[in-house]
Amino acid sequence: MLYLDNSATTKIHPEVKEAMLPFIMEEYGNPSSKYYSLAENAKVAVKEARESLASLLGCDHSEIIFTSGSTESNNMIIKGVADYYSSKGNHIITSKVEHPSVLETCRYLETKGIVVTYLEVDQYGRVNLEDVSTSITESTILVSIIWGNNEVGSLNNIKEISNLCLEKNVFFHTDATQVIGKVEVNLEDYPGITFLSCSGHKFHGPKGIGATYIRKDKYGILTKITPLLHGGGQENDVRSGTLAVHNIVGLGTAAKIAHNNLENNIKKLKELEDYLISILEEKFSEQIVINNDKVNKIPGIISVQFKGLNNELLVKSLAPVIAVSTGSACSSSKPSHVLDAIGLTDEEIRSTMRISLSTFIKKEELDIFFQL
């Protein structure tokens, strides 16, 4: 079975598994404990993992807060900002093509008096800078825009949006879950990004672990938010809970591997994508329509319509040989809100399949599409 659903999750890298094993078995200490070696070893491992992720993201290790993944990171930032800055304002700006962990959080906050602007997007799912600019008001406390879309792969112009937010003195959060390891993310080049979410299992790390980047202010203090999880004061009092050391070690190792191979991985994913598109065009020509843009996108994500076919039936019939999806795994029971927002008809949405590649795939394995 050829796995082509890497936007849903990825295979754990063998080196990640090897790095994690000792922290599941022998090195089971709690990094918040003191003095004895099990605790100290766990502490060192967490520190190293934090440094690896910080180095991949181009930030300081003290700006990394480990979470259970991007769903938590998105919730933590949006709810945390809304609560902490409630006396400053009650307006949040986001887009119609965000992940449900952003959209549903915003909808929940609307029931608590927060006003949310859901920006329209263009035919590829990108927001317009002018729309962001004109939506910002005196009461805007946060702009939250996805970096790269999980269904159609389009990259937003995060440089321009973050610069605008910096200029207007508004916090900017970006959900970078799908771009880590596939797009260069160097936070030193993005002074306007206040918060960022990422998740280990999207770049060959384990599930159940992710991080939130929180920028330090000019005094070296982390931008304040209300914690989602109160308790033992771990993670700088921002996110309590005993650290999942084995998962953190896995995330750190995945970050190190992603960092060392970034350029090659981007190149390989682009080559695989071009090759697969050429096969699809040759084999299916008039029967397919590619929904995604060809440029400014996450390499390796293809959104394709098979005209006249039902995507559920298609994905189901392919399942024994190829694992693909109709769209996002997080909203697979509903028609895609992303494809709806980019202007596709119900019929077009129902015939769309998402193929998402990984660097573990060999080019020749994609030849299986010739046999369909």
User: Which listed range, 11-19, 122-130, 174-182, 317-325, lies at the site for ligand PMP (CB under 6 A)?
Assistant: 174-182
Please say which residue, 69 or 300, places its beta carbon nearer to ligand PMP.
69
Does residue 175 bind ligand PMP (CB under 6 A)?
A: yes
Q: How far is the CB of 359 from ligand PMP (least distance, A)?
A: 18
Q: What is the DSSP letter of 161?
A: H
Out of 162, 178, 351, 359, the residue judged to bind ligand PMP by CB under 6 A = 178
Shortest Å distance, C-beta 73 to ligand PMP: 8
Residue 49 CB partners (closer than 8 Å, separation 6+): 248, 249, 251, 252, 253, 255
Binders of ligand PMP among 7-36, rule CB under 6 A?
none
Contact flag: residue 89 with ligand PMP (CB under 6 A): no
Nearest to 99 by CA among 210, 257, 2: 210
**Residue 33 · residue 39 · CB < 8 Å:** yes
Instruction: Please pick, from the candidates 323, 330, 368, 372, the single residue that binds ligand PMP as defined by CB under 6 A.
Output: 330
Token output for 110: 């609307």
210 counts as binding ligand PMP under rule CB under 6 A: yes
Quick one: 19 or 152, whose CB is closer to ligand PMP?
152
The beta strands (E) that lie in the chain are given as 2-3, 64-67, 91-95, 115-119, 140-144, 171-175, 195-199, 210-214, 288-290, 301-306, 322-323, 352-356
Q: Taking CB under 6 A as the rule, which mask of x and - marks residues 342-371 in contact with ligand PMP?
A: ------------------------------
- Among 95, 140, 144, 177, the residue binding ligand PMP under the rule CB under 6 A is 177
Specify the stretch interacting with ligand PMP by CB under 6 A; choose among 18-26, 68-76, 303-311, 336-344: 68-76
Q: Between 150 and 253, name the residue whose CB sits nearer to ligand PMP.
A: 150
DSSP letters for 208-224 = T-EEEEE-B-TTS-BPP
- Alpha-carbon dihedral angle through residues 219, 223, 225, 230, given to the nearest 10 degrees: -70
Measured from the CB atom, the residue of 178 and 234 that comes closer to ligand PMP is 178
Residues near ligand PMP (CB under 6 A), total: 14
Residues taking part in catalysis? 330
Contacting ligand PMP within 241-270 (CB under 6 A): none
Find the shortest distance in angstroms from Cβ 361 to ligand PMP. Answer: 19
Only one of the segments 25-33, 64-72, 75-83, 225-233 lies at the binding site for ligand PMP (rule: CB under 6 A); that segment is 64-72
Closest CA to 214 of 199, 232, 229, 235: 235
Q: Which one, of 187, 183, 125, lies nearest residue 156 by Cα?
A: 125
Please say which residue, 77 or 266, places its beta carbon nearer to ligand PMP: 77
Cα–Cα separations (whole angstroms), residue 271 to 105, 152, 277, 357, 364: 37, 18, 10, 11, 12
5 makes contact with ligand PMP (CB under 6 A):
no
Task: Rule CB under 6 A: say whether 69 interacts with ligand PMP.
Answer: yes
Closest-CA residue to 1 (of 368, 372, 371): 368
Give the residue at shortest CB distance from ligand PMP: 69
The residues with which 154 forms a beta bridge, in sequence order, are 297
DSSP 3-state of 295: coil
Contacts with ligand PMP by CB under 6 A lie at: 69-71, 99, 101, 146, 150, 175, 177-178, 199, 210, 329-330
